[in-house]
Each structure stands twice: as C-alpha cells, then as structure tokens.
Amino acid sequence: MNRRVVVTGLGPVSSIGMGIDVFAAALRAGHSGITPIAGFDTTGFLTERAGEVHEFQPHDMVSRIDPAEWGRSSLFAAAAARLALVDAGALDVPASAAARVGVCMGTTSGESQVVEKLTEHWLRHGYPQTPRQLTRQMPAGRVAEAVSRELDLRGTTMTVSTACSASNYALGYAFDAIATGDQDYMVVGGADSVCRWAHAGFYRLGALAAERCAPFDRDRAGVITAEGGVALFLESLDSAQARGARVYCEVLGYGLTCDARHPTAPDAASVARCMRLAHRDAGIKPDEVDFICAHGTATPANDAAEYEAVREVFGDRLPPMSSVKSMLGHTMGAASGFSAVAGALALSSGFLAPTINHLTTDPTMPGLDVVPNQARPAQAQIVQVNGFAFGGNNAITILGRLA
C-alpha cells in the first residue's frame, strides 16, 4: 500500500491559547506567551521567565483518565489529543476501529515535575517512604499511554524521546504507519512541562535568554523554556474524503539524520543532508518550498547552523523562514509539533506565522526573511518543518496543500 496521508485535526495546548481557533488567532496576531515563572521558585536564577500554560485545568479537558493519577506532561498530551479528535470530528471512535488508531507522542523530559518531586522526597526522607502514586506517574512512556487511555484507543502506542525534534519523529512514524496500512489513523505530537532542572540546565549551558526569544536576530541571547502539548490527527486521504472531513494539509514525506558528533552543538552539514532526504522522500525540489517553519531556538550556534544548512540546500533563493518559539518559547518535545501546526495553518488558512521580538536580522545571514513581527498573507503550497535536538537528532517533515 502507498496511501496518501492527510492531517484532519489539530489540538494545541499552549501558552498562547488552547484549541485550534484560539491558537490560530494568537499565532496570526503574534501574541507572546512568555510570563514570569509561577511553576517553581526562581530564587537564584537571573532568568525568571517561561512559556507556561497558566490556564490549563486538566479536570476540564480530560474525561476518562483521573488527573490525580497522571503527571502534567501526560495530561497535556491527553488534552491536546482530545482537542485534535474533536477538531477532526473523530472523537467517537467505535470499538471495532479502536485497534486501527495508533498514538505516537514525543517528549524531551517526560514527567520532569514528577522526577523533581521524587528527588526532593528522597533527599529529605530517603527511599523507604517513596510515594507510590508519584512512582507510577514517572515513566515517560505514560505520555503516549495517557492519550490511548483517555480516548480508549487500542493501536500502536509509542513515546519517542528524541528531545526537541521528537514531534517530527512522531509525525514521520505516523506517516509511514498510515501510508503502508499498518494503521488507519494516528494521533501524533508531543508534550513537556516547565521544570526547575531543565531551566537550570539551559541556564548552566549559557543558552537562556533573560527577557525575549528572538530567533535569527543580531542580538539574540538564547531560548526561553516553555511547556505544552500538541496533537495532530492523521488519516488516509481516502478515509478523510469518505467521511467528509476537512483537510488541513497532506503529509508529503520526511527525513531523519543524526549528527553523531557532539552532545549539543548542531552540525550544519548533517542538517542539510536531512533536508535533502526529506525533499527526496516528498518528491519535491528545494525551489518548490514556499515557507519554512524553523527550529529557530535563538541560540547563536543553532540559528547559525540552521541558516547555513538552508543556504547550502536552497542557494540564493531562501523561502521565508519564521520561528514560533519567539511566541511560545521552547516547548521541547512538543516544539516541532507546534511548528507543524503553524505549517498546516499556513497551507489551510493563508498566513505565515511571524517571528516576533525581531529588531535586526543577523548580518551574517544575508537574504534571510524571518517574517518579522507581523503575520503575512500568503498562499503557500509546500511547507518544510524543521526539528533539531541535542544528540544531533534531526527530523524534517514536508507538508503540502491538498491538490
């Protein structure tokens, strides 16, 4: 089988809004979700801002699973998946079809807040009195399990832990699963939570910005940590047409590479190879790409490597390339999933999401158009979604307007 694969449902739970209508409006308006951190004590940090989802109330967003039994990342994933299926008009999956609906969710830190609570308990009280409820919440595999449990799905259930490119890995896996007939439907995306240890880790790396995330800007200073969950509902084109579903876009292909060189520093040559693999898999040429949803973390090294790779593949004709991290912050395992949603909206709603906080494009990046500060009306036909991660894990997906 070689079925065409389409996206028919989008479910964002983010610092700029929950649900696709609110999220799309905020994305178009260039809203920022960065606020002072409320989730942990920031005493001792020079950077005290993050993209937290302050309005998230899991009891209002999930119905089958008990929020008291699940960590925040898993609840983000379950809530986002429910939103995606509602958006797709596919919430009521019949029992006979449940085994043909798979789940693949990405994460960087899994249940990071649970790990912190357990660690604090162990340091204060030792191991004998370890809270069983927290222990049950800890496995990262529960991020995908929460989706299956919440929606009563019986197909493949997998959590992908390839850090900040994990949602793109999940999207590629789902594309293959549906195209080959292994599954009829897939719920894919990612989830992570703001936590003290990740914030501290980026801080010690010198990769945190104090106030704003400004990708590709001359004076960019680094990432802003963030959280959220995102889900996309995928099915075959035949299935979508048979049930009269709205189609946001078609998944055309993807590419994966691993730098295998450095724990954190990106490798532009490996990223460029990943782009070429994605183009080959999608059956397109570089000059057919109308828009790139950049990884765009706003660290000096990442943005420079991403630009170098794009320049190598696209030459002098650089498509517009914006980063939603300027609005959301870095949502870690959910990051490329949110970028995929931005790409789907570019194809279906006729606008390119902006890179906000932009003052001056890095002068070492000639020809770069970051869609500065304001969304741009456009009728994109093909969108490239970049996702890169520590460990050199690169994943790029290609989305297209349905022909």
How far apart (Å, rounded) are the C-alpha atoms in residues 352 and 350? 7
Residue labelled with tokens 């801080």: 203
3-class state of residue 353 by DSSP = coil
Residues serving a catalytic function are: 164, 295, 330
CA–CA dist 391, 403 (Å, integer): 37
CB 4 within 8 A of CB 250: yes
Query: What is the C-alpha to C-alpha distance for residues 46 and 293, in angstroms, rounded to an integer?
Result: 30
User: In 155-267, which residue ranges form alpha helices assigned H by DSSP?
Assistant: 166-179, 196-204, 237-242
Torsion from C-alpha of 257, 380, 170, 90, nearest 10 degrees: -170
Residue 210 CB neighbours (<10 A): 12
DSSP for 18-36, written as a single string: ESHHHHHHHHHHT----EE
Question: Among 318, 316, 332, 338, which Cα is nearest to 397's?
Answer: 338
- Which residue from 106, 396, 394, 397 is spatially nearest to 261, judged by alpha carbons? 394
